[in-house]
Amino acid sequence: MSKPVAIVTGAASGMGLELTKHLISKGWKVGMADMNATEGERISKELGEDAFFKQTDVSVYKQQATLFAEVFRWGGNRLDFLAANAGIADKQSLYQTDEPLDEDGVPLPMNLKTMEVDLDAVLQGVWLFKHYARKNEKKGGKIAITSSAAGGIDTNPQYGAAKAGIIGLVRSAGPTFLKEGITINCICPAFVPTALCPPHMLSLWPKEHITPMSTVIKAFDTFLADDKMTGQAVELSLDKLYFRQPPEWANESQRWIGEESGPFWEKAYESLTSTAKKVADTVTETVTEVTNGLNGVH
């Protein structure tokens, strides 16, 4: 029987690296993605034949799509787990007072690379993963996304918005994906020493407020061990896992909207889904006809 296959993004350092090593030690094959090609290639060679490294900017869809396709083939046409872990801090301050201006004196667009890496790329990763999970011999798989317990940190509002968005994503998509055997959850670590923290600050952080890497691994293992747990956000603090639930409904109307309005929305969006499928089918037929015509096939 072939080994289970995972993709870990941000795999050349920090939590991604420790998770990669842990999975391989448990008999997994791991496709490692990271921007740091030097470290990624070095580490994958050290880890041996069960590690595959691909330099990837996850915010570039084509690069991430290529990563998934290559890992799927390398793993023997299977993909069981996605750890969407890659993340960066804010690249431009929302509070900047000397923002660059165009020739008309209007501020130039803000650098949103953080949102592109920390949220947009996660959505695209989920989009790609479910495609390959449906191709597995045993349909389905697991997704675990790295969010944060520091979602409200005022120095990095883009980072906070992206990490809060991840929690909304897993809570929204969890029940629906479970219908086809895919679980999606997220971890919200407290302070874990990684490259996200400026190096000169690491030594100043109070030691009693450091969450060890072992807690991170415990959280991932919890999700991997459960085929039904989905839509969950777990906070990691020191040596403990805290599963946080949404706040109680404000009233009965809010509860109905949150818990019982699903059939209404399915019907409301049914026509949109049908229209999208018709458009996709039409495009496919047109491309096929043009291709056949160019190839002289009638």
Catalytic positions, written as ranges: 159, 163
CA 197 to CA 192: how far, in whole Å? 9
Is 69:95 a contact under the CB 8 Å cutoff? Answer: no
Question: What is the DSSP secondary-structure string of 137-176?
Answer: SS--EEEEEE--S-TT-TT-HHHHHHHHHHHHHHHHHHHH
- For residue 131, CA distances in Å to 84, 136, 201, 275 come to 15, 9, 41, 20
- For residue 24, CA distances in Å to 6, 19, 31, 87, 187 come to 10, 9, 10, 22, 20
